[in-house]
Amino acid sequence: MRYNPLGRTGLFVSELCLGTMTFGSAGRFAAIAGLGQDEADALMKGAIDAGVNFIDTANVYSAGQSEEITGQAIRNLGLRREDVVLATKAFGTMGDGPLDSGATRGHLMDQVKASLKRLNTDHIDLYQIHGWDAATPIEETVRALDDLVRQGHVRYVGVSNWAAWQIAKALGIAERSNATRFQSVQSYYTLVGRDLERELVPMMQSEGLGLMVWSPLAGGYLSGKYRGGEGKGRREAFTFPPVDETRGNAVLDAMDPIAKAHDVSVAQIALAWLLHQPVVTSVIIGAKRPDQLDDNLAAVAIDLSEAELRALDEVSRLAPEYPGWMFGMQGAYRGKWIAQSRHKG
């Protein structure tokens, strides 16, 4: 297991992060959850024993049960709190009223206290805004998060499912007001979902943000068991994230010989590809059974060759889109001088 710094911080997190969406049995995510305390304890022990030090949850997972089970698992396993990087999120609906969701000062202040209680801890290492709130000024959200850090409830802050321009604006507001900046972005990224490479990846690389990848197997699609519309499981009840299966089947066909060459599962190749991407800080893995967890954990040992990475890139890369293709064409004018300068160095 390797450890990477989270954004522009000295906090090192494991390249695999244990996701806890499967913990609990209530709420809108019940279809992909269902694990009780004993099962969660076993999964967390397997992850910790493999070197994982990063745990990700959210207040909306199983209507708060995931946070409760996560916190209890840390205690049941006798883990030192300072050895675990604990991340959670807020934004989603936690009630029926107009004040029960969003990235407002009031909602965040209320929800961080509720999360701390459910997790049974005095601080959250990484507190993330779970989605974009069109009703709340970014200034309000940034200032509220800064206050939570100054109060000691939160140590670092991040964001999930925002567009590049929204994150860049928040970073500018934080710098201008001397407030705590985002250090991480939690986004969907897979061989069948590379959309973030258009705007988010260049922004993250420019601004020094870490990337946490959610649903790295595209909701199980990249396990290969749903190929051709066959197979039963999570995607049968919860078809998320969306996948272009015509394109996806071609990706799976390209992954098959690579998986056979390494004598590993197709899912491990999907994870290994992500771990080879320089922008990725940590890949969030979730499981319902120990064997699924073990399969995912084994991906850290796979070393893909340049030829294998090239083959996967060619079958999955995004189609050219403006202004990206213009950047490539016009970049050639200056690229030769950049290359010459590096050569001299």
CA distance 192 to 255: 12
**Sign of the alpha-carbon dihedral angle for 81, 152, 58, 27:** positive
CB count within 10 Å of CB 119 equals 24
Locate 261 and state its tokens. 């060459």
Q: Which two tokens stand for residue 310?
A: 């090239």
Q: Where are the alpha helices (DSSP H) in the chain?
A: 37-49, 65-76, 105-119, 138-150, 164-176, 200-207, 234-237, 245-262, 266-275, 290-297, 306-316, 324-344
Choose the catalytic residue: 61, 188, 189, 226.
Answer: 61
Query: In the numeric block, which tokens belong to residue 322?
Result: 């403006």
Structure tokens at 78: 């006798």
Type of residue at 147: D
Which residues lie closer than 8 Å to 181 by C-beta, 6 or more apart? Answer: 8, 157, 170, 171, 174, 175
Helix axis angle for 65-76 and 37-49, nearest 10°, is 60
The answer for residues whose C-beta is within 8 angstroms of residue 32's C-beta and 6 or more apart is 21, 22, 234, 237, 238
Centre a 10 Å sphere on the Cβ of residue 182 and count the other Cβ atoms it contains: 22
Pairing of strands 124-129, 154-160: parallel
Distance CA 245, CA 227 (A): 8
| Catalytic residue list contains 322 | no
Cβ 123 vs Cβ 76: under 8 Å: no
> What are the residue numbers of the active site?
61
